Amino acid sequence: MGLERKHALFFLVFTLLVLLSSHINFSPLLGADNQFFTVFQFFGPIAGGIMGAMVGGLSVLIAQLGNFVVGKEVSLLNLLRVLPMVFAAFYFGSKSKKVRAVAPLVAIGLFLAHPVGREVWFFSLFWTIPLVAALFPERLYLRSLGSTFTAHAVGGAIWIWSVPMTPEIYMTLIPIVAVERLLFAAGISVSYIAMTTIVDKLDKYVDIAVEKQYVLSRQLFSLKLFRIL
C-alpha cells in the first residue's frame, strides 16, 4: 500500500517532528564520538501504529533520510542507523507474532556470529523481549517495549560488526540499556496515546482509523486504561 492522500497530513507532521527531535540528544552512544540517542526514540515507532506496519516503516525511513538533506553527516554508520527505527515502527504496527519475531531472531544470530558477541552472548537475551511482548499485543507498554528492543536488536547487530568494542564494555552497558529502554517504552506509549487522540479528533481531515482503546477520554483514570498500560 502506498502513501495515500489520507496519510499526507500525518506524514508531514511526523517528518517535521523527526527533523526536530533528531537534533535533541537524549543519551550518548558508547563507542562512537558525537553519536547520540535522540528524542526521536520516544515516538518514532508510533508511525507503524497510525499508518500500518509497511507504510509506517516507510515513513520512518523517508523521514530519517530527510535528516541528511538538512546537514547530518553522511557516513555508512549513519545510514545504517536509520534501520533500527524502521524495524521498530514495523514491529509496532505489525499484527503478526511471527513477523515481529524475524528481526530480533536475525539480530541475535548476527550478534552471536561475532567473536565478541559469543563472549557476551547473554547481552543478546535482551532481544528475546520482543518475542515475549508479541504474545500480549493488547498491552501497549509491552508492545512499546518490544518495539524499542527490536530497534536495539537491529542496532546492536549493526554495531557489533561496525564499531570495535570489548566484552567488558558490553557488560557495563547492561544496566544502562535496561533503564534506557524502559524509558523509551514509556515515551512510546505516551506518544502513541497522545497521537492517537489527536488523529481521532481530526478524523474528518485525515481519515485514518485509529485504535480507539488508546484514545484519551473521560475514562483517563479508569482501570481499563491502566490495564492497557
d(CA 76, CA 26): 22
pLDDT of residue 200: 81
- The pLDDT score that the predictor gives to residue 122 is 97
- Residue 80 · residue 36 · CB < 8 Å: no
d(CA 63, CA 71) in angstroms, rounded, equals 14
- Tens place of pLDDT for every residue, the chain, 229 residues? 445 565 677 777 777 777 777 677 666 555 455 556 677 888 889 988 888 888 888 888 888 787 666 656 666 667 787 899 999 999 999 999 999 999 999 999 999 999 999 999 999 999 999 999 999 988 999 999 999 999 999 999 999 999 889 999 999 999 989 988 998 999 899 989 988 888 887 766 666 778 888 888 744 555 455 556 6
* Residues 44 and 89 sit within 8 Å (Cβ to Cβ): yes
pLDDT of residue 29: 56
**Location of C-alpha cell 518490544:** 146
pLDDT of residue 27: 62
pLDDT at 195: 85
pLDDT of residue 205: 64
> Which pLDDT score, from 0 to 100, does residue 216 have?
81
Which pLDDT score, from 0 to 100, does residue 148 have?
A: 95
- The Cα 221–Cα 43 span in angstroms is 22
From the CB of residue 98, how many other CB atoms can be counted at a distance below 10 Å? Answer: 8
Closest listed residue to residue 41, CA positions, set 68, 57, 58, 22: 22
Distance CA 147, CA 215 (A): 20
| Predicted pLDDT of residue 196 | 87
Q: For residues 62 and 49, is the Cβ–Cβ distance under 8 A? A: no
Buried b (16+ CB within 10 A) or exposed e, 41-51: bbbbbbbbbbb
Query: Is the distance from CB of 104 to CB of 150 less than 8 angstroms?
Result: yes
Please give the pLDDT value at position 120: 97
- Going from the C-alpha of 196 to that of each of 22, 51, 78, 115, 208, the distances in angstroms are 21, 11, 30, 44, 10
pTM attached to this predicted model: 0.85
Q: Are 93 and 49 in contact (CB under 8 A)?
A: yes
Q: Which residue has the cell 500500500?
A: 1
